[in-house]
């Protein structure tokens, strides 16, 4: 249900790389959630680096939502970048497994999108 990869780069370097790489695939970064900063701002003692990037390709989003508005609950796609024991990790949900649980008719489209997301991660790490 998930995919995780590792990088020699820092969390910030991977984030910047993804922000550039997504453009090659007509995706955009809608928002970057800085989990560490958010938790600290809420008074929590949290030291681990973690960025979650909301990314989207408007053509794919429209195509999916035209077929099933309920799938809006899993949009946009998310890529998580975090430090785990001094290793930078990059994770995402495997939409090829998630989307068919909600709509079997979109399995092939989910595989197509997932292939691109994996390529974005591969090129960015």
Is the pTM of the predicted complex or chain greater than 0.75?
A: yes
Domain at 2-124, CATH class: alpha beta
Strands (E), the chain: 2-7, 28-34, 50-56, 77-84, 87-93
Contact between 90 and 4 under an 8 Å Cβ cutoff? The reply is yes
Contact 78, 56 (CB under 8 A): no
Q: In a 3-state reduction of DSSP, which class is residue 55? A: strand
For the chain, 125 residues long, give each residue's pLDDT as a single digit of tens: 999 999 999 999 999 999 999 999 999 999 999 999 999 999 999 999 999 999 999 999 999 999 999 999 999 999 999 999 999 999 999 999 999 999 999 999 999 999 999 999 999 99
Report the candidate in 121, 47, 52, 117 with the shortest Cα–Cα distance to residue 84. 47
What is the C-alpha separation between 66 and 108, in angstroms, rounded? Answer: 16
pLDDT digits 0-9 by tens, 72-96: 999 999 999 999 999 999 999 999 9
């Amino acid at each position: 249900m998930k995919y995780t990869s590792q990088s020699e780069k820092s969390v910030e370097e991977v984030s910047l790389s993804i922000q550039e790489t997504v453009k090659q695939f007509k995706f955009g970064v809608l928002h970057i959630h800085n989990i560490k900063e958010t938790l600290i701002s809420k008074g929590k003692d949290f030291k681990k680096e973690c960025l979650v990037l909301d990314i989207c390709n408007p053509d794919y989003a429209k195509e999916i939502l035209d077929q099933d508005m309920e799938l809006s609950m899993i949009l946009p796609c998310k890529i998580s970048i975090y430090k785990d024991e001094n290793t930078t990790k990059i994770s995402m949900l495997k939409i090829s497994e998630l989307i068919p649980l909600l709509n079997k008719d979109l399995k092939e489209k989910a595989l197509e999108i997932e292939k691109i997301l994996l390529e974005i991660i591969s090129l960015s790490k």
